[in-house]
Amino acid sequence: MVPSTSRLPYFPAHGNEGYRVEHYDLSLDYRIGPNKLDGVARLSAVALRPLDRLSLDLGAFRVSGMLVDGKARRFTHRGGKLHVEPGRLAPGPFTVEVRYSGSPKPVSSHWGELGWEQLTDGVIVASQPIGAPSWFPCNDRPDDKATYRISVTTASPYTVIANGEPVSKRRAGSGTTWVFEQAEPTASYLASVQIGRYQRAELGSGMRLAFPIGLASRVRHDFGRQDQMMALFSDRFGPYPFGSYTAVVVNDELEIPVEAQGMSIFGVNHVDGRRGEERLIAHELAHQWFGNSLTVADWRDIWLHEGFAAYAEWIWSQASGGESADDHALRWHRRLSLLPQDFVLADPGARQLFDDRVYKRGALTLHALRRVLGDLAFFAMMREWTTANRHGVVTTDMFLDLALQYTTRSFEGLLAAWLYGCRLPPLP
């Protein structure tokens, strides 16, 4: 197999390899009008080697206190990094507490604003890939997955939705505190809070909707087949990996929908009452397997998220009476063949993480593999992929190792061409 030529991290300023976080306990008090956030973050972590210094990723907040293992420590905070002098930390468990406040603002990036962002009347958090420091101190690496407890206090007319299961709701004065617990390991970019004036509905066991009341009929129709999607994907990809799933529709337009752990967020422009954007509903649901349960160890392998979710769109299209996966593949192969042949799927570069070729060439790679293996072996492989790596981190090499176990004929060269070659290979 042809290796990737560059192993430099796409975002070298984010994350710290010296430790891993096992649990985040976030207590947030947020005032919507003035956009003011007071936060206390308690991190339970494990040092992987002796540490004289450690760093956290955190945006432009005022930090009023820092504790390591219950003791106040000196720190500096600049350039999005919170540097701490913890004393001599031996390898093993330790705790960090950070008290911070300010006006959260999204992280600027090549793809626009990321993280905590004000809506016309509420808040959306969409952090992929580097927006998590916009609202809490974290080790901002996709391979550092932790459990979460998120408590949010805000004005009572608003509904709060966060990752995991709601465990309590308490009103005091003009505010309400909402508490959620996420038991499955979660990457920092997939942690999320949504705040708005939402009506809520149940779609089925463990499936929820949240939407502005004026959109009720359109939302219920457009998401009306999501239970069928869930059944189809559970059959093709293995059991749904989380306790529940919530689709949130905000009352603002969004350029694209976004996924979070156990949650997806759509704009008002993604619901039309005619299921005109149903492929996006399928795409975001598929991310719960590919991206959220199975998360890339390194951003260069983003095709393991987006290519798989794009292919799930084609699988749903065929199963629901639309175009077949073959038809989608032929059409997109023709389109991609007309584009510049200067793109490497398994290492697209940071600026091209969300290039359409990551999505469509990734889906075509899976379709090519499916044609070689046949449906029975292909979907058995997909189920083994999600089961063996459930709630873990994955790489392209891991996927190739598994794929090569499912055939006796040599197609290593075929996969190398799809993943590491610039020129688009022919479909088998």
- Sort strands 393-394 and 295-296 into parallel, antiparallel or unpaired: parallel
Is the pLDDT at 1 greater than 70, yes or no?
no
Same domain, 98 and 137: yes
Buried b (16+ CB within 10 A) or exposed e, 330-346: eebbeebeeeeeebbbb
Q: What is the pLDDT of residues 125-170, one digit of tens each?
A: 999 999 999 999 999 999 999 999 999 999 999 999 999 999 999 9
Instruction: Give the separation between CA 424 and CA 261, rounded to whole angstroms.
Output: 33
- Sort strands 112-119 and 107-109 into parallel, antiparallel or unpaired: antiparallel
Same domain, 179 and 35: yes
CB 4 within 8 A of CB 346: yes
Same domain, 65 and 185: yes
* Strand partners of residue 400: none
CB 122 within 8 A of CB 194: yes
Domain membership of residue 256 (yes or no) is yes
Q: What is the pLDDT of residue 6?
A: 56
Question: Which residue bears the tokens 């930090």?
Answer: 63
The two three-digit tokens of residue 286, written as one number: 């598929």
β-sheet with 19-31: strand ranges across: 71-72, 62-68, 92-102, 36-47, 19-31, 146-155, 175-186, 165-172
Domain membership of residue 425 (yes or no) is no
DSSP state of 293: T
CATH of residue 272's domain is 3.30.2010.30
Q: What is the pLDDT of residue 296?
A: 98
Instruction: Give the separation between CA 191 and CA 149, rounded to whole angstroms.
Output: 10
Buried b (16+ CB within 10 A) or exposed e, 270-288: bbeeebebbbbbbbbbbbb
Q: What is the pLDDT of residues 188-244, one digit of tens each?
A: 999 999 999 999 999 888 999 999 999 999 999 999 999 999 999 999 999 999 999
Contacts of 339 (CB under 8 A, 6+ apart): 357
DSSP state of 290: B
Instruction: Give the separation between CA 290 and CA 233, rounded to whole angstroms.
Output: 11
Instruction: Give the separation between CA 134 and CA 58, rounded to whole angstroms.
Output: 7
Same domain, 258 and 380: no
Same domain, 267 and 322: no
Give the domain-ending residue among 139, 164, 196.
Answer: 196
Domain membership of residue 24 (yes or no) is yes
Same domain, 154 and 125: yes
Give the domain-ending residue among 131, 166, 196.
Answer: 196
Is the pLDDT at 411 greater than 80, yes or no?
no
409 band by pLDDT with thresholds 50, 70 and 90: low
CB 353 within 8 A of CB 344: no
Q: How many domains does the chain have?
A: 3
Is the pLDDT at 254 greater than 70, yes or no?
yes
Domain membership of residue 78 (yes or no) is yes
Q: What is the pLDDT of residues 350-393, one digit of tens each?
A: 999 999 999 999 999 999 999 999 999 999 999 999 999 999 99
CATH of residue 164's domain is 2.60.40.1730
The average confidence (pLDDT) of the chain is: 95
Domain membership of residue 7 (yes or no) is no
Domain range spanning residue 409?
A: 297-420
Q: What is the pLDDT of residues 5-40, one digit of tens each?
A: 457 899 999 999 999 999 999 999 999 999 999 999
Nearest 5°: phi and psi at 192? -155, 150
Q: What is the pLDDT of residue 3?
A: 43
Domain membership of residue 13 (yes or no) is no
Q: What is the pLDDT of residue 58?
A: 98
Give the domain-ending residue among 229, 254, 288.
Answer: 288
Count of CB atoms within 10 A of residue 73's CB? 15
Average pLDDT over residues 95-105: 98
Looking at this protein, which amino acid is placed at residue 416? A
Same domain, 57 and 180: yes
Domain membership of residue 10 (yes or no) is no
Instruction: Give the separation between CA 51 and CA 47, rounded to whole angstroms.
Output: 7
- Sort strands 245-249 and 207-211 into parallel, antiparallel or unpaired: parallel
Is the pLDDT at 4 greater than 80, yes or no?
no
Same domain, 235 and 92: no
Same domain, 130 and 266: no
CB 173 within 8 A of CB 166: no
CB 46 within 8 A of CB 19: yes
CB 383 within 8 A of CB 237: yes
Kindly calculate the radius of gyration of the chain based on its CA atoms and give it in whole angstroms.
Answer: 22
CB 188 within 8 A of CB 140: yes
Q: How many percent of the chain have pLDDT more than 70?
A: 98
Instruction: Give the separation between CA 221 and CA 131, rounded to whole angstroms.
Output: 32
The per-type count for the chain, helices as H runs and strands as E runs, is 9, 23
CATH of residue 362's domain is 1.10.390.10
Same domain, 108 and 176: yes
Same domain, 374 and 238: no
Contacts of 301 (CB under 8 A, 6+ apart): 346, 394, 395, 396
CB 305 within 8 A of CB 254: no
Domain membership of residue 377 (yes or no) is yes
Q: What is the pLDDT of residue 81?
A: 97
The two three-digit tokens of residue 391, written as one number: 């709630």
Q: What is the pLDDT of residues 62-85, one digit of tens each?
A: 999 999 999 999 999 999 999 999
Same domain, 218 and 356: no
